[in-house]
Structure 1
């Protein structure tokens, strides 16, 4: 079986590795040792939870708090960690640390899984991913312990802090405390800012970490003491674009949310201004694919939900634990349209020209994601005609972009609708194109044939 696996395509290896973890996780969550005596979770519920955890989404049909023992929640943490970093990434890290060698096909599969374009410094790159992940999650765990240990006691407080740190960094959105996410901590600065920091660090991408870390070491090591503007320019084009687009989305989302919901008594209308800003910041960050919530999304205005849909669709940055279209892909599409309106044939960013191949890839990814969303939303609408369309769209985008926020709809859906949600979560985690490519058996080589030029009226 392993010999056959090694001969599979990159897409098949990625899809199969996630499917294997999901199936194993669903079995472990179904064991009696994982289930509370009062649990109502069936195998279908456990399978849904396993998919949601491995795909780092956060949607559930039965909550973690009401269904799983400490053992079951430990399994959940492992599933989120594996889902966030990728099974093949973890296996490759172990192999390389043991001085083992990986075949070219397996190396390519891991590179594809972590969105790394080349194999230079491959072993060090994988090792650094694990080191940075451990340091960031440990820091988040210690900071959250300041709040939860006095409130819950040492054992439960430490466990809750660890669970939340892993869940937030992996952009999973699960919590072990109940059915209302972090609503009880909407006014708690420590919980809000630690969780959002973990979400951003997990979703910004591994390569951005290393790029920023390298520049910071250079800056504080007095080897290079430029201004902050020069410091930012010293980062790679990818890092600058990922950080810049992320900041713009967060700032614009914060302004829109606070402006629209400012006087809404059901959401943040009764909050003080600083509390409104903090709530707005948290919702904007969590919509980047995290899945936590400090307010009830059924209480916000329809425009706010629609803006959330757009934010979720864009998602986080490549090469991290986030989902969605990705910030850099969105930037390329936006700049392509902008340059086209100006009559500029090339896509230029910060004195760099993006290749036509990458522009084409960005549009293919966009159309694949949009097509999957339209199909999934259509099926859910047909199956649930009594539900407002905005809530159907909100839930579908949340699943496909692996965000996991919910307007309390998913647990009320029928099993067929929940199965659609599961497919959307899986497709969103590995990518619609990767999912389709893994299912298609290519029997013949495709030749890139060019015929005589044809003319079609456009627009």
Structure 2
């Protein structure tokens, strides 16, 4: 069995291997969740709901058609948690750790797949990076569970509290947004700083990207070793880290400020909270939209401008090589910088005293264009399939699915079977990455013209 899995992974192209790896785990998870042992009622689960739950877990989304808390048995919840952990770490990270456990050598082909799945530039140090990712993930999730237990053990007892602390910590770090608190998610803890702050920290840590972790830790180690000034050490951060941190901070604070202003006196969301609780709830909403899926205020009860802001934040999502979805903060940063260079008439796109390669700019624009096309197409199809539902409800749902967020205006369980299947497809595309999916289906069969440069001719645009 192990040899068959090994041959399967190394047989296909890097892109197709990633696609197939996630698909196999989704289908396997769906089969297990269909079994009577997985449901609390000990009956077979509808195949569509089982597939939906498996997909939302592996794709770390959080949209659910049945209550995770009440519908699934303990066994079913454990299966969901395993799928979340697998989805958060990624197919090739888990596969590489399996090879290391089995003491198998990681081949060049497998290193190429890891490189593609983690969006890394080079091949050197990839296995060490995978080890660090796994170790860092377990440490972060362990710390999160430890702090959660201070609140959840008094609420649910020792065993119930520890179980919920572990589940919530893994789900938060993996940006899954699936919880065991019932249909209202974390609304009961909107005033609780332990649950809210720890959840926000886990979401940011998981969503900021593994490569950013190690870059920051490298700078921190250098600072301890050389005792240089913080500012001087920060200058040695990579351009990627600088762009990610800058865009992330701008989105978090601007999103929180807008939500705070718009929802300040909304009686259905934040009117009865004190000023500290309102600030905390605003930051939670700004952070969870990128792309966690937990909620402390009702999404359906927010004002329309707040919902629009949430859609924008969901679409942007987290950062590359992390557990979050969306087009990614780095993509947005590069697109903005590229547009700025065009407006200013510059030949090169520059940031932080560095030049961004034109290939990066082209890829960022392609990701934005493909993602918008998929989102608009998906929303349009949903409006045809669900004419009785409002456009905002469906647009919110489609954005949440494609960006693997998990927030909803409360319509997921009411969707028809075709709509659920479409949402499943959007979640899958969102987790794999729109451009990866496009490349997988757009690889040229013919190679005759490779390297041949055709005559250049301008086209009027704008």
Q: TM-score range by the shorter chain?
A: over 0.9
- Alpha-carbon distance change, 185 to 360 in structure 1, aligned in 2, over 3 angstroms: same
1:192 aligns with 2:199: no
**Superposition map of 1:27-426 within 5 A:** 27-37=31-41, 41-96=45-100, 98-220=102-224, 223-426=225-428
Note the C-alpha offset of 1:123.
2.1
Point out where structure 1 has 5 or more consecutive residues left out of the alignment: none
Note the C-alpha offset of 1:426.
0.1
In structure 1, what is the Cα distance between the partners aligned to 2:190 and 2:43?
A: 28
C-alpha contact 1:346 1:354 (8 A) present in aligned 2: yes
* TM-score of the superposed pair, with normalisation by structure 2: 0.96
- 1:458 is matched with which residue? 461
C-alpha contact 2:18 2:432 (8 A) present in aligned 1: yes
In structure 1, what is the Cα distance between the partners aligned to 2:198 and 2:424?
A: 29
Partner SS, residue 300 of structure 2:
helix
Note the C-alpha offset of 1:386.
2.5
In structure 2, what is the Cα distance between the partners aligned to 1:40 and 1:23?
A: 16
In structure 1, what is the Cα distance between the partners aligned to 2:441 and 2:420?
A: 22
In structure 2, what is the Cα distance between the partners aligned to 1:419 and 1:203?
A: 26
Partner SS, residue 367 of structure 1:
helix
Q: Spell out, residue by residue over 1:350-384, the C-alpha distance to the aligned partner (whole angstroms, 9 max, x if none).
A: 00000111111111111111111111011011112
C-alpha contact 2:36 2:45 (8 A) present in aligned 1: no
1:21 aligns with 2:25: yes
Point out where structure 2 has 5 or more consecutive residues left out of the alignment: none
C-alpha contact 1:185 1:294 (8 A) present in aligned 2: yes
C-alpha contact 1:288 1:315 (8 A) present in aligned 2: yes
* TM-score of the superposed pair, with normalisation by structure 1: 0.96
In structure 2, what is the Cα distance between the partners aligned to 1:401 and 1:41?
A: 27
Partner SS, residue 298 of structure 1:
coil
Give the number of equivalent residue pairs.
Answer: 457
Deviates more, 1:1-10 or 1:137-146: 1-10
Note the C-alpha offset of 1:231.
2.9
Note the C-alpha offset of 1:17.
0.3
C-alpha contact 1:39 1:67 (8 A) present in aligned 2: no
Deviates more, 1:134-143 or 1:1-10: 1-10
In structure 1, what is the Cα distance between the partners aligned to 2:334 and 2:438?
A: 23
Note the C-alpha offset of 1:226.
3.0
In structure 2, what is the Cα distance between the partners aligned to 1:91 and 1:407?
A: 36
C-alpha contact 1:60 1:411 (8 A) present in aligned 2: yes
In structure 2, what is the Cα distance between the partners aligned to 1:388 and 1:345?
A: 45
Note the C-alpha offset of 1:420.
0.8
RMSD between aligned residues: 1.6
C-alpha contact 2:40 2:71 (8 A) present in aligned 1: yes
C-alpha contact 1:12 1:439 (8 A) present in aligned 2: no
In structure 2, what is the Cα distance between the partners aligned to 1:314 and 1:176?
A: 27
Deviates more, 1:39-48 or 1:50-59: 39-48
1:447 aligns with 2:445: no
